[in-house]
Structure formats: C-alpha cells, structure tokens
Amino acid sequence: MDENIEKGVQTKEQQKPDYKVRPIIYLFAILGGFAGLLYGYDSGAISLALPGVTDSFGLNAAQKGLVVSFLLFGALPSIVVFTALEKKIERRNTLIIGGIVFIIGSILSAIATGMYYIMAARFILGIAAGIANMFGLIYLSELAPAKIRGLMSSLYQLSVNIGILVAYGVGAAFQGSEEWRWTLAIGVIPAAIFTIGMFVSPQSPRWLIRDGQVNKAKKVLNRVRSSDDEIKHEVHDIENSLTTQDAGLHELFTRFRPVLTMLIILTIFQVFTGINAAVYYAPEIFHNLGLANASIVADFGVGTALVVSTLISLPFIDRLGRKKLLEISLVGQIPPAIALCIWSGNATIAVISIFIYVFMFGFGLGPVFWSYVPEILPLKARALGMGVITFTQYLLNAVFSLVFPIILEQIGINIFYFFAALSAIAAWYIKKNVLETKGKSLEEIENYWETKSNH
C-alpha cells in the first residue's frame, strides 16, 4: 500500500467539517435494507420448506439441489442485464422493479404445482435477489453521508441475516405437509413493504448528477443532508469525480485493475473461508447430540449468531474502520476452526466452536465485505465493478455449494483446517493490501485510486 498517497487522503479527511446526520437518513437506510431482508428470507425459507416440497412433489436428492440452487442461477443473468441497464434506470427505480419481482416470485412459489413450476418460481426470485444484492448496496452507499456510510451499508448484511432468522421462525411454525406454501407465501409481506418504501425513498443523488439532473439531485440532498454547505461540497465533489467518461470492461480490467483484483481476492476469501460450510455442518452436529428437531435448532442457533454478531459490529464499522474489523473477524475464525477439527468428537465443544466461528464471520467478514465493495469502487466504475464482483460471488458460491458435500464426505470435518489456514492468509493480505475507507468521502477514495494509477 502506498503510504504517501494514503496519508494525503487522510489529510483531506481531517480538514472536512463534521456535518450532522439528519435522522431521516436512518429511515431510508431501514427501507433500503429491506432488500437484504428479502434476499435473506427467500434464501432461508427454502431450508425449512424443502421437506414439505419434497413430500409434495416426490423430489430426489438431485432435484432438491436444483430447487434450492435455482435462486442462485436466476441471480446471474439478472446481474448481467441490470448492470448493462444501470445508466438508463436509476438505482431506486431498479430496486422498485426488484421488489415487484420478489412479490411475483413469492406468489408463484406458494402456488407451485410441480418441480419445474417451483424451479421457475425460484429462478424469478433469483432475478430479484440479484437486483437487491447489487443495487441495494450501491443505493445505500451513494445515499449515505461519509460519516455513517459504513453503518448504512452494513445494515444490508444485518437485514439479510434477520431475513434468514425470520424465515427459520416462519418455517418452524409451518411444518405440515402442505404448510410449506405459507412459508414461501409470507415473503410477499416484506416484498410489499420494500416496494412501497422505495416509492417514498429518494433517488440516488450521484446517479442523478451523472445523468445531468443536478437540480433534482440538490432537492434529494436537501432531504438527507444537514446544511447548504454540505450539499454544495458534495455536489462539487461528485461533479469533479465525473469529469471523465464511465469505465467500460476494458478500462475496468486495465486502469482499475488494482482495485478489481483486490476485490476479487476478498471475494474468494469471503466464500472459501467456510461460512457456508459452517452452516451446512451445524445440523449434523446437532443431530449427533441426539436433539429433537436437530435441523431447526441448528438453523435457529446459526441464524441467531449471525444476527447478534452483525448487530454488535454496526457501531464499530465507522469507529474502528473496515480494515480492522476484517482483520479481527478473520483472525477470530482461526481458533474455533482448529478446535472443531481437534475436538469434533466432543459435541459441546463442536457446537460452541461452530457458533463462535459463525459469530466471528458475522462480526466482520459478512457485513464489512458488502459495505466495502461499492464504496471502494470509483463512481465511473461502480455499477460495472459491483456487477462483476456480485456475479463472481454468486458463481463462487455455486461452485462451493456443489463441491463442499463431496469434500466433506471424503475428508470430513478436517476441511476446517483449510478454512483456518485460509483465514490466516486472508488476515495477512488485508493488513498488507487493503485501503481503509473509514470517514472518507466516496470522491476521496476515488481520488486515491486515480493518484495510484498515475504512479
């Protein structure tokens, strides 16, 4: 990391006035965060609905995998299409489209009459999930003042985890053979709240200025900023950041290759340090304890650990900074991963280890990663870069989901030794290569990469 360039950015940061945060911005953060809640709910609901779906449609193991994974496959083309359209459709309006698609997908899932029907419904939900995961984060990062941008963006990950936990609760309440339909249908409620909430939320001021609608952007900023001086400086910074044309794929992979490479490496760490494996293995551990309803207990335990840890992390994101939380999270994953391997025969230690592992992920790597991606990307490359990273993350998750059960069958819980080692490598990489963005405006971060590319 070039310390001279970074110090220059820090000097600018220290010269900025300490503007107050208007309370209404938190309301818009909650409404925008519903994008994450919807994704979390639809991802979690299928976990407890699947036994009922299996009974209703007579699914085999491969077919169950397809039903679950088709949400993921639906997200991939969605990310590509809406990335291509991002200059034509404003962020908030894109999220409204996503909310409507969530409603349609939830209804179709609930009234499905066969395997292919529900796969198609899950694919439609995946289209909405791709929109929510990508543009929900961009929208929150562009609407937020620098002072609380980390908090606002991380509300998305908290919302995802809350959505998963709510889905587990709803699914546990509807365990009858045909009651799974209610589990999937209830997704309409948060989808409707989100869609209505987006209609009353402001548009992205940065998108509006890029589109030449400066006066409209100033009206938005009047709603969400505390003073005329703050608005004046923000408009000026945004206009300065737009003096060059938007990046295309060639420029993204050449001029902005350092930041893109760093984000792809962070994506690999986020996927392959094993959070999905921890969630996958938890039901088996609880089952070995001989607990009744082992999968439900495991789901609630892991879901609660994710929500509580993410909630605790929120005030620290803008105090300690993104980089420090990532380091703490990854280093904290190492001891429970090793303990799980050494004492896997001891059910108590194994359960505690799983919960600590999930908690440490939820404290840093989960929420910080998704708040860091949109803010570290320059505005001219933000939507395209976010599309590449989101697509990569979904694709790697698909690969991981396919190969992990096979690896677990071959080497068992010892796979967590690999996760511990990768967590250590990730912590070292972040300490050496990741730029801290705490308190910096998006334009200051962009200036860092512009300066770095000229060296």
The pLDDT tens digits for 69-81 are 788 888 889 988 9
Question: Does 118 score more than 80 pLDDT?
Answer: yes
Is the pLDDT confidence value at 6 over 60?
Answer: no
Mean pLDDT of 359-372: 87
Distance in angstroms (rounded) separating the CA atoms of residues 184 and 239: 45
Give me the mean pLDDT over the 246-274 stretch. 85
CA 132 to chain centre: 9
Counting Cα atoms < 13 Å in the Cβ hemisphere of 314 gives 17
124 contacts 101 by C-beta, under 8 angstroms: yes
**pLDDT value of residue 105:** 96
The C-alpha atoms of residue 179 and residue 91 are separated, in whole angstroms, by 36
pLDDT class of 245 with cuts at 50, 70, 90: low
- Domain 21-201: homologous superfamily in CATH: MFS general substrate transporter like domains (1.20.1250.20)
What ranges make up the beta strands (E) of 135-286?
A: none
- Residue 413 DSSP one-character state: G
- Render pLDDT for 189-219 as a digit per residue (tens, 0 to 9): 999 999 999 999 999 888 899 888 989 999 9
pLDDT, residue 5, reads 43
CA 370 to mean position of chain CA atoms = 5
Question: b/e per residue, 363-380, with b = 16+ CB within 10 A?
Answer: bbbbbbbbbbbbbbbbbb
For 367-411, the pLDDT digits (tens) are 888 878 878 887 778 778 888 898 898 888 877 876 776 777 788
H helix runs in 16-114, sequence order: 24-57, 61-84, 91-110
Amino acid code (one letter) for 160: V
Does the pTM surpass 0.95? The reply is: no
Residue 123 has pLDDT above 60, yes or no: yes
- Angstrom distance (rounded) from CA 33 to CA 194: 9
Angle (nearest 5°) at CA 52 between 48 and 54: 105
Q: What is the mean predicted confidence (pLDDT) over 13-39? A: 78
Provide CB contacts within 8 A for 176, sequence distance 6+: 52
Place of tokens 């900025």: 16
Query: Do residues 224 and 25 touch, judged by C-beta distance below 8 A?
Result: yes
Tell me how far apart the alpha carbons of residues 227 and 235 are, in angstroms, rounded to a whole number. 13
**d(C-alpha 56, C-alpha 334), whole Å:** 42
Q: Which residues are CB-contacts of 332 (< 8 A; sequence separation ≥ 6)?
A: 356, 360, 363, 364
User: What number is the average pLDDT over the span 122-150?
Assistant: 85
Q: Any residues with CB less than 8 A from the CB of 181 and at least 6 apart, and which?
A: 110, 111
Structure tokens at 133: 């995961």
The 10 Å Cβ neighbour count of residue 192 is 15
For residue 340 the two structure tokens come to 């799980």
CA dihedral sign, ordered 186, 279, 37, 139: negative
Q: CB-based contacts of 228: which residues, under 8 Å, 6+ apart? A: none
Please list, in sequence order, all residues whose beta carbon lies within 8 angstroms of the beta carbon of residue 24, skipping any fewer than 6 positions away: 223, 224
For residue 207, CA distances in Å to 90, 202, 233, 373, 445 come to 7, 11, 16, 17, 17
Over the Cα atoms of the chain, what is R_g? 22
Q: Between the ranges 76-80, 132-136, 200-204, 334-338, where is the mean pLDDT highest?
A: 334-338
**DSSP assigned state of 365:** I
Q: What superfamily does domain 246-455 belong to in CATH?
A: MFS general substrate transporter like domains (1.20.1250.20)
Contact by Cβ (8 Å): 375, 141: yes
In 242-293, where does DSSP find H-type helix? 249-254, 257-272, 275-288
State how far the Cα of 380 lies from the Cα of 382, in Å rounded to an integer. Answer: 6
Q: What was the pLDDT predicted at 9?
A: 46
Q: Which tokens in the block code for residue 273?
A: 């340090």
HEC per residue, 103-130? HHHHHHHHCCCCHHHHHHHHHHHHHHHH
> What mean pLDDT comes out for the span 279-290?
63
Angle (nearest 5°) at CA 160 between 260 and 308: 110
CATH 1.20.1250.20-classified regions of the chain: 21-201, 246-455
